[in-house]
Amino acid sequence: MRNNTFPYAQLRFADIQLLRYRVPAFQDLSLGQKQYVYHLAEAALCGRDILWDQNCRHNLAIRRLLEDILQNSAIVHEGKDWEAFLTYLRQVWFANGIHHHYSTDKFLPAFSAEWLGQAYRAIPSPVIGAEEFEHLAEVITNPSVMPKRVCQSGDDLLLASACNYYGEGVTQHEAEQFYAQQKASAPQPDQPVMYGMNSRLERDAEGNLYENIYSSTGLYGRQIERICSHLEKAMEFAENDRQREVISLLLQFYRTGSLDTFDQYTIQWISEVEGTVDFVNGFTEVYGDPLGLKASWEGYVNILDREATRRTEILSQNAQWFEDNSPVDPRFKKKECKGVTARVVQAAILGGDLYPSSAIGINLPNSNWVRSVYGSKSVTIGNLTEAYDQAAMGNGFRQEFIPDAKVLEQVNLYAHQLDDLHTDLHECLGHGSGQLLPGVDADALGVHGSTIEETRADLFALYYIADQKMHQLGLTPTPDAWHSNYYTYMLNGLMTQLVRIKPGCQIEEAHMRNRALIAHWCLEQSAYWAQVFGTIPAMELARKDGKTQLLIHDYPTLRQFIGQLLAEIQRIKSEGDTLAAKHLVEKYGVEVDGALHQEVLQRYEALDLAPYKGFINPLYTLVTDTDGKVTDITVSYDETFDQQMLRYGREYN
């Protein structure tokens, strides 16, 4: 599978590195399957502007303005301001809007407001009118206007957030009451739909709150209807009847906005496991809403990687064994683990909230009751992890942060394989494990819910990656290859992930909080028990040659800590123990040690690497004969990031 001549690493700017990914599995598809992928891919690209608008209501107008300047302004295309403009535009493209995709802080351009005005006035016939320009220029250049997309702390999370899921002036208290009422009057309380998922909560003329629903006749109607027309074309090439049924229910959902229909669609989607091609298209993840209700639009298409899937099939087949043998209280365990399907796939296209920055493992659906009754589908996206791994080879990062030669050798040998296994465990067993006690609200943990859920899945993965069962099942190369995974995980949670945080800031993103929580909790346990027994700690941060270094002395003990924390986190989730969740997250997952942070940033900066990566999509082209009949579809990897962004702006706006 390795192809060392493929140009994985592409454009580098600000804190971003763009990569290409290959889709070798596409070549092996039949013509019908290729056409299925093609039309699903078009559907995945058509929702792009929905996400841009969800992220902030000024995003689309600002993109039009910036692209107009790039292509039509007579301003000098060189010099400091022009370079700053290019960087800013690429940042906005990459983040699908004016806020950073990860920190959600607004970008501050390095060009001046004056320069922007000159650049605008040098456009012969601008697409944005003069009055609107003044307003947009203020949004772009004034740091105090809409400074954050998703605000996680403060008196009113909605008023403080720039995301566009709630009408102007709708308060957190109002929104919470609105949805508490909806939940309370659910016709089937044990099977609640995903309330609020596909709408903007707005105020009508009388000042009453109502939901403006996303549908082909409602909000984002034009984009959704275009998605639907591609889904209809795709349906002609579906591999089986269930895929047709899935698409037909999705069309029905898009046209009515009915959340009941969405659940039916989801249930059919989970049970479609026969096909080689699969897709996600719709309102999916809720990280972009400070209240965790409203889902951002995303789309992607994947092709099964049969060889690599053998690995996750082994995990799935043993799902019940993992559940039964976990260190969790039996009351919180699933009596029957079902529906755990896990596949390794190759992404064929990334769209919406999965582009250009993408997840590498995905577990869906997000509906708790659907998951508990029908199970879930998990994928690891192998061609994306391959691209990451290939681009990271020999960039100096590991040498800097893993000074111990023996540890470094283990990491170089096993990290990639073990990281993939960790992702499989996290996605296909971790999220699917455990159960809530009867009567516990799935959203009981509130703002800390996402962090606790990610912590739970990671702990499950860490606990089992170290189990001898892994080696017995033939999933690890040596009995203690898991040491390399523990080392890189703890290193990341304690130190290296801090490169993504600005000086003086705290940790906010759920996955980062989860890693910090696990690593700091284990570090504290290590110190505590070492003191009690007068031994060396299982794990410590030590100073050597003026640098902080992670030392792990006792891996088996570290695994015991992981087991204890897993039991506690599962209890918190199962009982809906909000206070305990808050305590753990705030004590271990949020705070940053200022001195260590500064050191890590300095060491990282010296390496001149980009902390964030994302992907340029391949381009699929229809090949037709003289009668216009499709005879083949080719895939190419030549487009640059700028070309792709401008093309998407033209073709999918």
Site residues for Zn ion per CB under 5 A: 454, 457
Which phi and psi (to 5°) does residue 472 adopt? -60, -35
* CA-wise closest residue to 197 among 298, 289, 266: 289
> CB-wise, 457 or 600, nearer to Zn ion?
457
> CB-wise, 149 or 456, nearer to Zn ion?
456
Smallest separation (angstroms) from Zn ion to the CB of 459: 11
Smallest separation (angstroms) from Zn ion to the CB of 426: 6
The answer to whether residues 315 and 428 touch, using CB atoms and an 8 Å cutoff, is: yes
The tokens describing 235, both together, are: 């349906």
The answer to whether residues 278 and 40 touch, using CB atoms and an 8 Å cutoff, is: no
Name residue 150's amino acid: V
What string of DSSP letters covers 299-335?
Answer: EEEEEE-HHHHHHHHHHHHTHHHHHHHSSS-GGGS-S
> CB-wise, 199 or 378, nearer to Zn ion?
378
Residues in the chain: 653
SS (H, E, C) 481-549: CHHHHHHHHHHHHHCHHHHHCCCCCCCCCHHHHHHHHHHHHHHHHHHHHHHHHCCCCCEEEEEECCEEE
First-to-final CA distance of the chain: 36
The answer to whether residues 327 and 463 touch, using CB atoms and an 8 Å cutoff, is: yes
Q: CA-based angle 55:58:63, to the nearest 5? A: 90
> CB-wise, 352 or 430, nearer to Zn ion?
430
> CB-wise, 146 or 452, nearer to Zn ion?
452
> CB-wise, 359 or 490, nearer to Zn ion?
359
Smallest separation (angstroms) from Zn ion to the CB of 175: 25
List alpha helices for 434-499, DSSP H.
449-465, 468-472, 482-494
Distance in angstroms (rounded) separating the CA atoms of residues 102 and 630: 41
DSSP reduced 3-state for 382: helix
Smallest separation (angstroms) from Zn ion to the CB of 361: 7
Smallest separation (angstroms) from Zn ion to the CB of 485: 16
> CB-wise, 510 or 539, nearer to Zn ion?
510
Smallest separation (angstroms) from Zn ion to the CB of 454: 5
> CB-wise, 454 or 577, nearer to Zn ion?
454
Q: CA-based angle 442:445:447, to the nearest 5? A: 120
> CB-wise, 231 or 286, nearer to Zn ion?
286
SS (H, E, C) 286-303: CCCCCCCCCCEEEEEEEE
> CB-wise, 457 or 523, nearer to Zn ion?
457
Distance in angstroms (rounded) separating the CA atoms of residues 457 and 572: 13
Distance in angstroms (rounded) separating the CA atoms of residues 465 and 235: 40
* Residue showing the smallest CB distance to Zn ion in the complex: 457
For the chain, the C-alpha Rg in angstroms (whole number) is: 25
**Cβ neighbours of residue 228 closer than 8 Å, sequence gap 6 or more:** 216, 251, 254, 255
What are the CA-CA distances from residue 520 to residues 2, 348, 561 (Å)? Answer: 36, 38, 11
> CB-wise, 348 or 457, nearer to Zn ion?
457
Smallest separation (angstroms) from Zn ion to the CB of 457: 5
